[in-house]
Structure 1
Amino acid sequence: MQLIFDGHNDVLLRLWENAEEGADPVAEFIDGTDRGHIDAPRAKKGGLAGGFCAIYVPSPGGYPPRVVDAEGRYSIPMVPALGQQPALAAALEMAAIAFRIERAGGWSICRSTADIRAAMAAGRFAAVLHIEGCEPIAEDLSTLETLYAAGLRSLGPVWSRHNAFGHGVPFAFPSPPDTGPGLTPAGVELVKACDRLGIMIDLAHITEQGFWDVAKASTAPLVATHSNAHALTPISRNLTDRQLDAIRERRGIAGLNYATTMLRPDGLENPDTPLSAMVRHIDYMVERMGIDCVAIGSDFDGATIPAAIGDAAGNQALVEALRAAGYGEEELTKLCRENWLRLMQTVWHET
């Protein structure tokens, strides 16, 4: 079995939302559930050894409905910005769930690659705290040091909505990622602070202009934790060839997103999506960037994924499909975990 370190999941959001309805998030993760995609038993069964666990604060009222035209093209209207204080309160509640799971022995919150390797060796899920959309962070960055001390090691300046730090790319198909402005002046300062502290910057939800703004402001590798190839699926959230080339030049990573809307040529949210669609995106990105710059960023608990995977227990189905497509064990080890660990060593100032 190839152990997998995952570039992105939303398990904390799911546990937080279920806790609002009265569920025990610690028991739900440790003992297992039939809800969502990730818990400890399913992770172990599928070789999911760890990953970046997102703290994402949803917009009140959820998503607006899709606007679809007669030809199947669609867009989702942007949601309003969130206030910093309410967002921080929700983020701290999710972080508290993460720490409670750790105290109960369900996973280890990892702050270094040594922590990740130790957790994997012990058979314990290696969780890295990530903030997806920096609404919880004060514009003057006064909260960033505290969050770093608590374990934050990765952040995306924006989700697919605008905030004080930058502009998010909307969900639209077909659409380029070049949908508006990029970083604000506060966003530039956030990027520089992340470089100084050793916090990974995730470009998955930012506009194309924001991608280039980060490339200019940061000296770190460029990373899109859960984005695919725009040339194969022209959704606004996927990466253009020029962006993939820039990731290669900076020895960064693009993590394969399992969301069917980002895998299928037609952009549909349809679980009847073959594993070959996932292999096709991996092949394209490997050919464009090289084997060292591609990894996995599932988006478990945050997207509709292929039924052939199902949930975390089905991860090895993708590994077997890649093996059947000609990837050797050394290449699979890089794709499944070692590329992420190599990158984190660099970004976290361990080398």
Structure 2
Amino acid sequence: MTDAAITPPIFDGHNDLVLRLLRGDVTPEGVAAGLPDGHIDLPRAQAGGLGGGFFAVFVPSPPVPGTSPDDMNQPQYDLPLPLMLPEAEGRDVTIKGIAALEALERAGAVTLCRTVEALEEALFGPTMAAIMHIEGAEGIDPGLEQLHALHARGLRSLGPVWSRPTIFGHGVPFAFPSGPDTGPGLTDHGKRLIRECNALKIMVDLSHLNEKGVDDVAAISDAPLVATHSNAWAVTPHSRNLTDRQLAMIAESDGMVGINFASAFLRSDGQMKGDVPLEQMMRHLDHLIGILGEDRVGFGSDFDGALVPNEITDCAGLPALRTAMRAHGVDEALMEKLCWRNWMRVLRKTWGA
């Protein structure tokens, strides 16, 4: 494979590899040596030019009775969300997830980074550069003591919700066709959480928040608005995607959006099927750049958390994305911005380092 196929490196806004570790599907040593399935391991990352990304710590819910993944293959759907999780359960799983991510570093699969300088160095190194991210703040207490403890441990990015409600706010359901205006926004606890994240220089992720929640963050936050793994609602009218009004707010804040590879959020019919051409991803790319500009768009794959296009399959398939972008007219300067430089820019502005 040519150097052009695997360069520039891609820094990814979101993956769920830690969830596989929590479930016991894989081991840290297996991730470092290579896995027979899933989307991410170190050898495939090196083969595809995945330089690193946000590694999400997520607390899973039991399946909702009467629902299945096939529900997202219907012409219309509105999946009921799981109930709020107890704080003790959220805290226990979150701490185990952080420990699993640290074990990945000990195994030589990732390098945990707390500054942009460290990220840029690790991005071109032998391991994957990793940001510790929490997706859904179930493990954070109302007094925010746990937020401070996890920040000291390396937490640098947090999403207040993963779709289901938390004490901090409300997320969007998985619904198509649907807009993101699906309920109330941040609670008083949530507003304090955003202010404290700003004080600690923890990036706030808008992905999964509903419309009122995004508005609340925009009204409170003094940092750029960022959605790590979300797409354009104007192209795919799914509740998880961002409307033009929301994109304009993100642009005004000098934030950014990472394009989600999940098929249901890319396809015009909203279905979770892998036979989606990468030209459809280019439609989202064009729309996002049209509103956000070239400096505020990147990628947020949702690897190991969603069904991605067949042309990509896993992180070793990222050369297909670079090929599609070049065929679409993306030049090398813009390619570098989309693949990694835009993430470094917004993180430097958010973290101040």
TM-score range, shorter chain: over 0.9
Q: Conserved in 2, the CA contact under 8 Å of 1:155 and 1:201?
A: yes
Q: CA deviation at 1:95?
A: 1.2
Aligned pair partner of 1:106 in 106, 109, 115: 109
Q: Distance in 1 between matches of 2:253 and 2:30?
A: 39
Match of 1:13 in 2: 19
Q: Distance in 1 between matches of 2:270 and 2:37?
A: 25
Match of 1:34 in 2: 36
CA shift in 2, pair 1:62/1:8, >3 Å = farther
- Whether 1:292 aligns to 2:295 is yes
Q: Conserved in 1, the CA contact under 8 Å of 2:73 and 2:271?
A: no
CA shift in 2, pair 1:63/1:277, >3 Å = farther
Q: Conserved in 2, the CA contact under 8 Å of 1:183 and 1:213?
A: yes
Q: CA deviation at 1:233?
A: 0.4
Q: CA deviation at 1:64?
A: 5.5
Q: CA deviation at 1:122?
A: 2.3
Q: Distance in 1 between matches of 2:94 and 2:292?
A: 34
- Whether 1:316 aligns to 2:322 is no
Match of 1:218 in 2: 221
Q: CA deviation at 1:63?
A: 7.6
Match of 2:264 in 1: 261
Q: Unpaired segments of 5 or more residues in structure 2?
A: 1-6
Question: What's the TM-score, normalizing by structure 1?
Answer: 0.96
Moved more, 77-86 or 67-76: 67-76
Q: Conserved in 1, the CA contact under 8 Å of 2:51 and 2:124?
A: no
Match of 2:49 in 1: 47
Amino acid at match of 1:318: L
Give SS of 1:5's match.
Answer: strand
Match of 2:10 in 1: 4
CA-based RMSD of the aligned residues comes to 1.6
Q: Conserved in 2, the CA contact under 8 Å of 1:15 and 1:28?
A: no
- Whether 1:242 aligns to 2:242 is no
Amino acid at match of 2:43: P
CA shift in 2, pair 1:349/1:299, >3 Å = same
User: Could you list the per-position Cα deviations for residues 257-315 of structure 1 after superposition, in whole angstroms to 9, with x for gaps in the alignment?
Assistant: 00000000001111111011111100111112111111000000010000100000011
- Whether 1:79 aligns to 2:82 is yes
Name the count of aligned residue pairs. Answer: 346
User: What is the 5 A alignment of 1:1-351?
Assistant: 1-19=7-25, 23=26, 25-61=27-63, 65=67, 72-350=75-353
Q: Conserved in 1, the CA contact under 8 Å of 2:72 and 2:272?
A: no
Q: Distance in 2 between matches of 1:104 and 1:308?
A: 30
Give SS of 1:143's match.
Answer: helix
User: Could you list the per-position Cα deviations for residues 167-226 of structure 1 after superposition, in whole angstroms to 9, with x for gaps in the alignment?
Assistant: 011100000000000100000000000000000000000010000000001011111110
User: Could you list the per-position Cα deviations for residues 146-175 of structure 1 after superposition, in whole angstroms to 9, with x for gaps in the alignment?
Assistant: 100111000000001001000011100000
Amino acid at match of 2:202: I
Q: Unpaired segments of 5 or more residues in structure 1?
A: none
User: Could you list the per-position Cα deviations for residues 101-146 of structure 1 after superposition, in whole angstroms to 9, with x for gaps in the alignment?
Assistant: 2122221111011111121232221010100000000011011111
Q: Conserved in 2, the CA contact under 8 Å of 1:222 and 1:250?
A: yes
CA shift in 2, pair 1:77/1:2, >3 Å = same
Q: CA deviation at 1:323?
A: 0.8
Q: Distance in 2 between matches of 1:270 and 1:207?
A: 24
Amino acid at match of 1:48: L
